[in-house]
Amino acid sequence: MAIKSSQTLVSEALKEIKTISTDDAHKMFNDNKCNLIDIRDIRELQKEGQVDGASHIPRGMLEFWLDPESVYFKDGKLDLNKEMVLFCAGGLRSALAAKSLKDMGFEKVSHIDGGFGAIKQSKFKIT
């Protein structure tokens, strides 16, 4: 049995999903055209800071919180008609998470190239 490496999974995901720049994400966010979703662990937010106005959904709960059939569904937390823009620390987890949301049937999904590392150097406000 051949096991795919995490690197292979990320490479495959990147071919299927939309990757956007921090500038594109910032414009969509300011124009209220997306849900900006931070999928980092809560400890990362506490240590590194967070994007002002972003929703936090830990990576491990993403599919459950966005599935209307799930007991964990967070009704009203996000506008399911807007684009889901995901980010993590560096862009690997968010690539896998974006592919997972596409697999669930979400059509408007993207992730931010470079993750929070790039976001810190951009126009977003960090708190």
pLDDT at 92 over 90: yes
Question: Can you give the CATH number for the domain in which 23 is found?
Answer: 3.40.250.10
How high is the pLDDT of residue 51? 98
Is the pLDDT reported for residue 89 higher than 90? yes
Within a domain: residue 124?
no
Domain assignment of residue 28, yes or no: yes
What range does the domain containing 38 cover?
A: 6-119
What is the tally of structural domains in the chain? Answer: 1
pTM given for the model: 0.95
Q: Give a yes or no: residue 1 inside a domain.
A: no
pLDDT tens-place string over residues 42-75: 999 999 999 999 999 999 999 999 999 999 998 8
Query: Is 127 within a domain?
Result: no
- Which residues have CB under 8 Å from 36's CB, separation 6+? 25, 29, 51, 53, 54, 55, 85, 87
